[in-house]
Structure 1
Amino acid sequence: MAKLRTDFDTLVKALAPELYRYAMGLCHNPHTAEDLVQETFLRGWRSRKDLRDAKAARAWLYTILRNEHARLYERQRPEAHDPNELPDVPVRGYDTSAAAFATRRALAELEPEYRDPLLLQVIGGFSCKEIGGILDLNTNTVLTRLFRARKTLRDRLTDHPLKEAAQ
């Protein structure tokens, strides 16, 4: 039991920062993101016996987090935030420039069917096959959604006035 706990503690330390970034990409609220990550690890610990392959633990935890995020909005209505307000995120290296804000806003405006695969690839570093497994999609669908997500972001950011001001 002690070895299992040590292994899980190691997994938590290794994956907490990237799961937090993914949660922030989903909910855009630092407190909610922290809660989502904590709940993800709690559910992961409780159902650790269901994990058949230790190599799949990372994708498994991403799936739990994604499901927790969906459950969150089944239980409550999301808080309304001013879309022009920069989030107050106490994370070192958080880019608060106008261009980064425009990018985050464009990303937040993407449809979830495009945003989710893109976040899993960019933040999680998952392959298209792994993303397909997490989102229950075939690889070609993942590739199409990633292409459309990038194209939409590129179009929105190319036409964005902050981009022209930064040049």
Structure 2
Amino acid sequence: MSDFEHALNSYLDELLSFARSKINNPQLAADAVQDSLLKALRKRDTLRDESRLRSWLYQILRNTIHDLHRKSKRSLMETTDPDTIATQEEMEHIACSCIEKLLPALNRDYAYIISELELKQKPLKEVSEHLDITPNNLKVKRHRARRQLKERLEQTCRLCAAHGCLDCDCDSN
């Protein structure tokens, strides 16, 4: 066993503990550590400063964990039955009709910002000039407007983003 491999081995328990704190499945955590150590072995010539080995290993492990999360999200999307998913156009129509109906319930400025930026898709600069505020200030107000709209949608339409369902009763309000 080379000095480098011995050094890698000395961090094994520490890396495994870190991976387990980020991944709920112990087997996947062990796989992530194994993958990251293999990457480290393959790329050890890119390590410029041996004193930074620990932080270099953690960075490789963080990237590996991030890749795993991305892959799991992608596979989840691929396994979803396409027949049960509304088309993007259908969802936009449903969302737009709900949003338009809820605009009067929002703060007047927020309603205008949502209408102009989100529904009419006007340029940020144009809307900020009309409101006589800076583009950065408009971005802050847009964020607040979206948050207020989201709260209203959750109250009125029982929008469940986590499950992708929409049970809208805007017409009854």
- Please report the TM-score for the alignment, with normalisation by the length of structure 1: 0.42
Higher RCO (CA < 8 A, seq sep 6+): 1
Using structure 2 for the length normalisation, give the TM-score: 0.41
